[in-house]
Amino acid sequence: MRYSRPMRVRFGHADPAKIVYYPRFFEWFHDAMESMFEDVSGRPYAEVLEGTRAGFPAVSLACEFKSPARFGELVDVEVFLSRLGERSGTFEYRVRRRGELLATATVKVSVIDLDTMRSRAWPPDLRRQFEPYVEADGEAPDATRLRS
């Protein structure tokens, strides 16, 4: 199971080459993750944070840009998890334009206590709600390409 949201590439996302300025992809990923939290838990991301006092900072990530996304295009941002640890989660993002994979990313987040800023376990309800979204695919970023 994957969470997916369509989005239009906006004027403010694009750079002088008319393609998406790559830091904007990470804003899309964060927004899509927040939408997924809301869809999965039935509560806005901000309420999840406030209600559980858990936070989900990114600790490690990899991303490959395979083909540029252009100003005005309609893309789909898919979100799922490749791993649901005790105190972490590994979110996967796939950006497609009519099926074609434009960008693929893996973002590992740590579960922390927002009051102490220390590592903690997932809120149990939330962890259970995310379980159906755990899957493996063959499209994750390939670390060996980065070093070649």
Q: In the bound complex, what is the minimum distance in angstroms from residue 19's beta carbon to a second copy?
A: 7
- Interface residues with a second copy (CB under 8 A) are 8-12, 14-19, 21-24, 26-27, 30-31, 34-35, 38, 44-47, 50, 55, 57-66, 68, 70-74, 83, 90, 106, 108, 114, 117, 141-143, 145-147
Q: Are 143 and 106 in contact (CB under 8 A)?
A: no
Measure the CA–CA gap between 126 and 124, rounded to whole angstroms.
Answer: 5
Q: In the bound complex, what is the minimum distance in angstroms from residue 145's beta carbon to a second copy?
A: 5
**Token couple for 13:** 């996302």
Q: In the bound complex, what is the minimum distance in angstroms from residue 6's beta carbon to a second copy?
A: 12
DSSP 141: -
Q: Which is nearer to a second copy, 47 or 131 (CB)?
A: 47
Q: What angle do CA 140, 136, 68 make, to 5 degrees?
A: 30
Q: Which is nearer to a second copy, 58 or 127 (CB)?
A: 58
Q: Which is nearer to a second copy, 2 or 19 (CB)?
A: 19
SS3 of residue 107 by DSSP:
strand
Measure the CA–CA gap between 31 and 11, rounded to whole angstroms.
Answer: 17
